[in-house]
Structure 1
């Protein structure tokens, strides 16, 4: 369990807060994906739980990327214009991720139930999402953490910049 940093600490280490958010999103996606593994309980309660967890994860991921586009990326484009090509590339990734998230939401709106092909489609979309997010998060962290830490809180808090607050661990 990680200690919850004081608000001033959060403002001094924005890049590290981004990493914490990415770790949390990776863990949530892994849990969601595991719920579809063979042997997972396919009863109605489990399907409702899958749908709720999926929609919660998808909403958090969308909030995070929307928040970055409107918050951190806008601020970094002003403060570090040399990062604009990187920010544009990351924003393009966000649009691709959004398309996958929409497909996943459509698939779980009509839960797979006992249909193995439907479960396989959800699993395949989540696997693709996981692969894309893995490379996206790694690239984003490598390119932006230092620039975010250099802001030292001038640009606002983590929720304003990243769309979600870091987990309380």
Structure 2
């Protein structure tokens, strides 16, 4: 294969720009990884003398990031989607309600962590939050990623 041919081949396959929906999936994947790290910390550090403080710190960091993510969706992406795609209004309202439910679960988990509860109690609540978040992320990805991608390219924050 000549250099001219290789150059022509690579230029005929346009690279799709990363859209806002892709950015959402990346954010969800990061949150999934952080949640897995939190569960791993609970599983492996529960015997440590300072496990409660370590867990509180990690939990607060994760919950803060999750709250920021959902606040950004509720106050930014969702209103834009509702204006551009009015048919999504019921889905967006449902997603916003799920955000409120997740926030309540976060508060319950925070109360357990702050109350120096046993690791098995904290793990049960963390598992409940994890299951709810995974269902929420999948639903969100299934219902709004294409619409978000239609809005335009993702911000370049790398």
CA distance in 2, matches of 1:79, 1:28: 32
By how many angstroms is 1:48 displaced? Answer: 2.0
Point out 4+ residue stretches in structure 1 off by more than 6 angstroms: none
TM-score w.r.t. structure 1 length? 0.77
Q: Does residue 56 of the first structure (1) align with residue 61 of the second (2)?
A: yes
Unaligned runs of 5+ in 1: 1-8, 113-117, 159-164
User: How big is the alpha-carbon RMSD for the aligned residues of Structure 1 and Structure 2?
Assistant: 2.2
Secondary structure of 1:43's partner? coil
Greater share of residues in helix: 2
Kindly tell me the number of residue pairs found equivalent between the two proteins: 143
Structure 1 residues 39 and 57, CA, compared in 2 at 3 Å: closer, same or farther? Answer: closer
CA distance in 2, matches of 1:105, 1:124: 13
- The higher radius of gyration belongs to 2
Residue pair 2:46, 2:119 contacting (<8 A) in 1 also: no
Unaligned runs of 5+ in 2: 1-14
TM-score w.r.t. structure 2 length? 0.82
| Aligned match of 1:26 | 32
Q: Aligned match of 1:102 in 82, 107, 122?
A: 107
